[in-house]
Chains A and B, each alone.
Chain A
């Protein structure tokens, strides 16, 4: 009787062990299957060009960085979005909204003042007037580049052993993967030299630089316009131009907030308005479409230079009109210390 009881107990133990092992094996297999399936899906997600990409490439002895610590020869949108130090004010939004800049620097922050415009009607007379409000980069300091905003802005650190002249190389351009209707011609860059520290200085010292005093505007595709842009140039701005090879025109970038009380007519020729609110802007660097030239853009001191980079769609450009559209934009900033 006792033997039977012991045998039964042993059988129960064996049974329990069999169930536990079978259950454990099933569980491990299920977890492995789930995890590997997840890995399969994530690793093979279709890689497509983002709606907005920024590539920065340096060559010939110049090194670039997003944090003044990790020095590279090229930076991609992922590098810009993964910038790790807190307190930065970088942003690469998912899409761009037309904005305008008259080249005024905010002395407190070293930022370039940007304005978002709108066209409304004068309440009594009914003619079109221009209004504009300041739009600025969010300073969230989270250590992750902002994914919102109206324009691209980021700090680029450039390291050089000697004082150098910096050139844009062939291939520095704005590229639309899809059909572009005007926005490529309205794209703009601005570079602000925020200051310089010696090689070997702390990253924090370089990151804290904010003493920009001069804006370098760079207008790619400055010599081409869409047919709609040519019409808009005449109708809105009173400028006569052609689709290809026209004289490179200046435009009226916004440099201060404009309210309805300012009553700035869209086609105004009043010099007072232009001087105070929408001065004429002639980018210091204008490149023709498909340029294969090396174009001087910046002079660097030896050491680490902080350059604040802006990229945007200029709302005051003649090609930024109602028909303008495009998608999958790539901003290629290619720099070198050599001009050949």
Chain B
């Protein structure tokens, strides 16, 4: 029973370490303007209701880098925009892919918005294309993980406790071996 508990505990610890490592890599890969890139996949947390009912506020979408030349009407894209002097990422649907004498641009609109977006999207502002992979409400979790307190509570603190546990475990093993050696020698 004790052995089974130990095995389960070790599995849980290793699963947690792998998850923590993945989240850490995402954090370290967070480039300029707050976009994380995990082996080509870009997790984004939806902040508004403009794409309902396709995507709800708080949903986590997994989007991918895409060749802008392949984008077409109906595709859902995430792109940089400036709102109130701040750089934000917007996820909206392409209403028209324009090619004006070689100059590409995209007219976009939120499914839940009445009007098309005021500014056309330039190719270099496009972050990724949404291919339908989403996890309901997990965006809130991502936002929490990315927050200062969330990352500390969910990643750093448990890792620290695991480290202390492993350190104590290692010391106990060494003490036990030493004791066994002493008994054998005597």
Seen from chain A, the residues whose Cβ lies within 8 Å of a Cβ on chain B are 15, 18-19, 22-23, 25-26, 28-30, 32-33, 35-40, 42-44, 55, 57, 59-61, 63-65, 70-74, 76, 78, 82, 159-162, 199-200, 302
Contact = CB atoms under 8 A, between A and B. Distances in A.
Contact of A32 (B28, B87, B151, B159): B159
Interface of B is mostly: helix
Nearest to A78: B32
Contacts of B123: 63, 70-71
Interface string B150-186: 0110011001101100110110011001001000000
Given A26-B170, A73-B120, 5 more contacts: A29-B17, A44-B151, A63-B105, A71-B123, A199-B103
A74 B86 CA distance: 11
A40 B152 contact: yes
Interface of B: 13, 17, 20-21, 23-24, 27-28, 30, 32-33, 80-82, 85, 87, 100-105, 119-125, 146, 148, 151-152, 155-156, 159-160, 162-163, 166-167, 169-170, 173-174, 177, 180
A60 B117 CA distance: 11
Given A32-B24, A59-B119, A73-B125, A302 B105 contact: no
B177 A160 contact: no
B87 A161 contact: no
A32 B148 CA distance: 17
Given A65-B124, A74-B87, A302-B101, A40 B156 contact: yes
A161 B80 contact: no
B94 to A, nearest CB: 15
Contacts of B24: 32, 35-36, 39
B32 A200 contact: no
A73 B81 contact: yes
A26 B167 contact: yes
